Amino acid sequence: MEIRYHGHSCVQLTVEGRSLVIDPFLRGNELAVTKPEDIEVEYVLLTHAHTDHILDAEPVARSNGATIVAIHELAAYMSWKGLPTIGMNLGGTVDLGFAQAKMIQAFHSSGVVLDDEQKIVYAGMPAGFLIRAGGKTILHAGDTALFGDMKMIGDRHEIDLAFLPIGDHYTMGPDDAVQAAEWFRAKLVVPVHYNSFPPIRQDAEAFVRKLEERGLRGRVLAPGERMMLD
CATH code, domain carrying 170:
3.60.15.10
pLDDT tens readout for residues 32-85: 999 999 999 999 999 999 999 999 999 999 999 999 999 999 999 999 999 999
Is the CB of residue 143 less than 8 Å from the CB of residue 106? yes
HSE at residue 194, side-chain half, CA atoms within 13 A, is 23
228 lies in a domain? Answer: no
Distance, in Å, from the CA atom of 173 to the CA atom of 192, rounded to the nearest integer, reads: 11
Q: How many domains does the chain have?
A: 1
31 lies in a domain? Answer: yes
Supply the pLDDT for residue 230: 85
CA–CA–CA angle 23, 29, 35 (5° rounding): 75
Does the pTM surpass 0.95? The reply is yes
Is the CB of residue 99 less than 8 Å from the CB of residue 131? yes
227 lies in a domain? Answer: no
Closest CA to 44 of 27, 64, 61: 61
230 lies in a domain? Answer: no
Residue 205, C-beta contacts closer than 8 angstroms, at least 6 positions apart: 220
Tell me whether residue 116 is exposed, middle or buried, using C-beta atoms within 10 angstroms of its C-beta: 0 to 12, 13 to 18, 19 or more: exposed
In terms of phi and psi (left: phi > 0; alpha: psi -120 to 50; beta: otherwise), the region of 62 is alpha
| Eight-class DSSP state of 9 | T
229 lies in a domain? Answer: no
Mean pLDDT of 184-204: 98
Mean pLDDT of the residues in the chain: 98
224 lies in a domain? Answer: no
Residue type, 123: A
pLDDT tens readout for residues 70-129: 999 999 999 999 999 999 999 999 999 999 999 999 999 999 999 999 999 999 999 999
- Domain of 154, in residue numbers: 2-215
